Amino acid sequence: MTASVQEPCCILVAALGGEGGGVLADWIVECAVRSGLPVQATSVPGVAQRTGATSYYIELLRAPVPAGAPAPVFALSPVPGQVDVLVASELLEAARMVERGFVNARTTLVASTHRVYTTLEKMHMADGRQDTDRLSLAARTLAGRACLMDMDALTRQHGTVVSAVMFGAMAGTGVLPWPRDLCEAVIRDSGRGVEASLAGFGAAFDAVATPAEERPPVAAVSAGTLPDWPEALRDAWAPRAAAWPPAVQALAVHGARRCQDYQHTAHAQAFLAQVERLVAAAPAAAGAALEEAVRQLALWMCYEDVVRVADLKSRASRFERVRREAEARPGEIVRITEHFKPGPEEIASVLPQRLGQALMRTAERRGWLGSAHVGLHIRTTSVWGFLMLRTLAGLRAWRPRSLRFAEEQAAWQAWLDALCQLMPRAPRLAAEVAGLPQVLKGYGDTQRRGRENHQRLWQTHVAPALQATALDDAALAQALSQALKATLADPEGRLNAAHRPRAEQPVFWMPKASAARPGPP
């Protein structure tokens, strides 16, 4: 027996839960069995970083065992530096395998370039995403051969699951010791979603097997192409916005569409009027501040409240997405249960201004803030639950009269006034002030900490600059940038707890129950 036959082919599959990694491992094992190759597969479920990262490890011989030869003994888990083929369904999963030492000069790496963001990335108060360029560079540098492609796009295009695309990409590299026909026969015999799986397999196989110079060119998108204006705003605003910088125009259109969906056309017009004001106040040197200000304003004017959450959770597109992610077949029942935990702050935020203020005063006086919450489990797929959410979503018409809207509007108007004053005088500082709304996130305790952080940064860095007659733009911008980064890196507010004024806590005196007195003799 030759050394190449005795040495197993080691295959490691890194996938996320629900992506069909187990099906892919079964396909590989079945192909090996039909080829008469000894094979062994193991799997290790991972922690639910996103949807449960899971690895599948397969060892197989490249040729059948000769008659009379001892049966091979395979390993149960991969060894760093000893993996021949590694296939990952997502770029960060590929980077995890690189970090753990499973990718080296002997490894053929097949990975998708799309991202499924981790919980920590989404929890970050600013942009917590990993740098995809660095992840791709590490994969290409350390692998003996790297095949990176957008598997998610092919999956969506052919209406299949990513495991079929992963299988096709692996087969297209030529690392598997069996022909394409056998792979397709195994998929066909699996008996579920056959046509879609075969389409995804074939598209990935052809994309990998075709030399780069022979692939059809990808149509480039013109840099000057702008998204379509909402029909209700096109005639009035498209001519007025034509003189704005192209990047600002694109942000303005996206922001207007978002504001219209969030509230109504008048809200989108109010947003565009503020953008026009910012453009008029911004000199050429303040381009970065202007773009960031428009982006943050669009997000701020569409702050999330219980009305917005109820609206998004009860849309038909959301039900369709959940069914698609759950891989529910036609006729199968999917039940969705929402978890809400409203407190006095959430209730007061949607009440008219005076009623909301009265409720907040009562909550502060009685010590309800941060402690009085009601846990609600609402089944959106039931008639009663759906009607409850649509009723909450219907409060959108009352939102401009609510306490939260009045507070947010006062805050963003003060922020806009400061930007219009600072952009001509200190463009670098203005760029940092433009990013200040990043600290305003979420609701409940998170929202309260965000407001405290915003107020602290405003009073420490912005208010003195607005009152100063002469400004050191670079020094002030650097100081605010460092303070903002430190705040965003501390979402729980632990580092700033010492500087936060201690909140007053009410003390309630309760009469002590007296012991029962004996009655008269």
Whether residues 91 and 73 share a domain: the answer is: yes
Structure token pair of residue 100? 């753990």
Number of H helices, E strands in the chain: 23, 8
Closest CA to 200 of 215, 185, 187: 187
Q: Which residue has the tokens 């935990």?
A: 341
Q: Where are the beta strands (DSSP E) in 104-201?
A: 108-112, 145-149
Task: Give the DSSP per-residue string, 123-165.
Answer: HSSS-----HHHHHHHHHHHSSEEEEE-HHHHHHHHT--HHHH
Whether residues 73 and 204 share a domain: the answer is: yes
Final residue in a domain of this structure, among 401, 430, 463:
401
Q: Which 3 state secondary structure label does DSSP give 19? A: coil
If the chain, 521 residues long, is cut into consecutive pieces of 10 residues, what is the mean pLDDT of each piece? 65 84 92 94 68 80 87 91 93 91 94 87 78 91 93 90 93 93 94 88 89 48 63 92 92 95 95 95 89 95 91 92 82 89 85 90 80 82 92 92 93 95 93 92 76 92 90 91 87 60 60 59 53
Is 223 inside any structural domain? no
The residues that bridge with 147 in the sheet, in sequence order, are: 110
Whether residues 335 and 428 share a domain: the answer is: no
Q: Which amino acid makes up residue 131?
A: D
For residues 402 and 349, the answer to whether their CB atoms sit within 8 Å is yes
- Exposed, middle or buried by CB within 10 Å (0-12, 13-18, 19+), for 226? middle
Return the pLDDT at 494: 67
Q: Which residue has the tokens 């295009």?
A: 157
Whether residues 193 and 241 share a domain: the answer is: no
CA 438, CA 436: separation in Å to the nearest integer?
Answer: 5
Whether residues 246 and 196 share a domain: the answer is: no
Whether residues 251 and 159 share a domain: the answer is: no
Sequence-separated contacts (24+) of 319-323 with Cβ below 8 Å: 319/380, 319/381
Name the region of 156 (left: φ>0; alpha: ψ -120 to 50; beta: rest): alpha
Final residue in a domain of this structure, among 374, 401, 428:
401
Is 220 inside any structural domain? no
Query: What pTM does this model have?
Result: 0.71
Task: Give the DSSP per-residue string, 185-226.
Answer: HHHHHH-SSHHHHHHHHHHHHHHHHS-GGGSPPPPPPPTT--
Whether residues 318 and 296 share a domain: the answer is: no
Whether residues 326 and 290 share a domain: the answer is: no
Return the pLDDT at 491: 66
Whether residues 276 and 419 share a domain: the answer is: yes
Q: Which residue has the tokens 């694109």?
A: 250
Closest CA to 299 of 349, 258, 244: 258
Is 514 inside any structural domain? no
For residues 140 and 146, the answer to whether their CB atoms sit within 8 Å is yes
Is 484 inside any structural domain? yes
Look at strands 85-88 and 9-16 and give their pairing.
Answer: parallel
Whether residues 135 and 30 share a domain: the answer is: yes
Q: Where are the beta strands (DSSP E) in 303-412?
A: 337-340, 376-379
Is 443 inside any structural domain? yes
DSSP state of 439: G
Return the pLDDT at 265: 94
Please list, in sequence order, all residues whose beta carbon lies within 8 angstroms of the beta carbon of residue 184, skipping any fewer than 6 positions away: 198, 201, 202
Return the pLDDT at 2: 44
Q: What is the torsion angle, in degrees rounded to the nearest 10, for the CA atoms of residue 112, residue 114, residue 115 and residue 116? A: -80
Whether residues 448 and 471 share a domain: the answer is: yes
Return the pLDDT at 220: 40
Please list, in sequence order, all residues whose beta carbon lies within 8 angstroms of the beta carbon of residue 124, skipping any fewer than 6 positions away: 488, 491
Structure token pair of residue 13? 């599959």
Q: Which residue has the tokens 């990262």?
A: 53
Structure token pair of residue 22? 């187990």
Structure token pair of residue 444? 């409940």
Whether residues 393 and 484 share a domain: the answer is: no
- Exposed, middle or buried by CB within 10 Å (0-12, 13-18, 19+), for 411? middle
Cα 217 from chain centre: 30
Is 120 inside any structural domain? yes
Q: Which amino acid makes up residue 163?
A: S
In the sheet with 85-88, reading across from the earlier edge strand, the strands are 39-45, 53-60, 9-16, 85-88, 108-112, 145-149
Please list, in sequence order, all residues whose beta carbon lies within 8 angstroms of the beta carbon of residue 517, skipping any fewer than 6 positions away: none
Count of structural domains within the chain: 3
CA 130, CA 117: separation in Å to the nearest integer?
Answer: 9
Is 505 inside any structural domain? no
Final residue in a domain of this structure, among 214, 240, 258:
214
CA 166, CA 176: separation in Å to the nearest integer?
Answer: 13
Which whole-number Å values give the CA distances from 186 to 25, 170, 193, 201, 507, in the listed order?
12, 15, 13, 12, 72
Return the pLDDT at 48: 46
**Structural domain harbouring 130:** 3-214
Is 132 inside any structural domain? yes
CATH of the domain at 80: 3.40.920.10
